[in-house]
Every structure is written in C-alpha cells, then in structure tokens.
C-alpha cells in the first residue's frame, strides 16, 4: 500500500499520472491535473451567470435636426388606369 506522499493518481481528462495531492476536483467532480483544472467555476461564479459590464454610448454622431415630415397627397385616381367608355 502506498503512503499518502507517494500515492499516484490519474487525471480524468488527459490520463497522465500525477502525485495524488496535485489532482483537484473540477466542477463536474472529476479529479484533474493542474493544467486541466478550469478554475473554480460553478453556478455562482460561472462567467455566463454574471451581468456583463458594457457601457452603451447612447450619443448619436453627426445628428441632424428634425426637419418635420413631408407628406405627398396622392388620390386614388392618380394611380388607376384611365377608364374608357
């Protein structure tokens, strides 16, 4: 039986062997080596669960003053073909 200092474990991601004290549990419960460990991601501190800090600049570049609406009056007889008797 191996003592705790000399115990060897296998990384569940890459399959390499490491001393057991170097392997950490990731967010899915696998024992992984330091290079495969993704950090302390879980439901509370996962990047997708955080509010992004995005500054939305609402200023409009080269804004033009409102000149008002321009209406064109078109009657229905203007676009109908002529009626011949």
Q: Is the pTM of this model over 0.75?
A: no
In the beta sheet, which residues pair with residue 43? none
Give the tens place of pLDDT for each residue, 3-13.
677 899 999 99
Give the tens place of pLDDT for each residue, 7-65.
999 999 999 999 999 999 887 888 999 988 887 666 666 777 778 888 877 888 887 77
């Amino acid at each position: 039986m191996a003592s705790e200092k000399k115990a060897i474990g296998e990384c569940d991601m890459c399959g390499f062997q490491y001393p057991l004290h170097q392997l950490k549990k990731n967010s899915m419960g696998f024992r992984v080596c330091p290079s495969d460990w993704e950090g302390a991601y879980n439901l509370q501190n996962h990047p997708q669960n955080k509010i992004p800090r995005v500054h939305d600049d609402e200023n409009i570049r080269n804004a033009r003053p409102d000149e008002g609406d321009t209406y064109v009056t078109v009657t229905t007889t203007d676009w109908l073909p002529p009626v011949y008797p």
